[in-house]
Structure 1
């Protein structure tokens, strides 16, 4: 894996500047210490990283969507779009909503098969096992230094 910094403080992954972060809900954003992930999402958005939630849930209430809105540029629920992880179409639909190519996005999920599917669709992948490990991986992929 080749990573090189750039003037914007973002790192290159395979020669592409990473500009998008797609993250699962249950198992990642519901994990103990997830408040740190939410803080990371806000900081990432402030740095120009586009963010999306991708969940295999049937949908979410308007209240739940309002709660999630500050953290994400797009909310994708499989039950609402008619395709679910690990189908490649759902990853491509999600990055399309961010107006980004798949190879400029990172996908985070606690299910390894979903991460493998995202990588097969062209994204970088992070298998979430703990909040600390995920933040370490994201910090390496999205450099915070200038």
Structure 2
């Protein structure tokens, strides 16, 4: 996995989050997993096709998702993780992936993105892909989140 491709997604997440008022996003860790597997309650999956193929997954706990959705909606209180906050998180993932695809295109890499798919559930494990995955962890005032990047060779 080429680090310049990974950096396109990290930079996009930081930029888009800042535009939406999530200004405290700080990278806290970096790990590799043998496959794309998450254990958080909320996972938004974006597929990549073109010169690079794979998946990018924004993964977070439900309380973090609610806090981020509230921030995205101008501070409007969000009391439950229903359709509105789910839509907000999908839009955040879509914006990050779109920004990343634009950056990749500037590098000469064509990457199209699929519409976001949100998986939500308690006490579950999502096994999404059998591809080696880079997990970038972030901390925000709203909670912890992970950006999982799995690209096929």
- Which structure: greater strand fraction? 2
TM over 0.5: no
TM-score under structure 1 length normalisation: 0.30
TM-score under structure 2 length normalisation: 0.29
Which structure is higher in RCO with an 8 Å CA cutoff and minimum separation 6? 2
- Which structure: greater helix fraction? 1
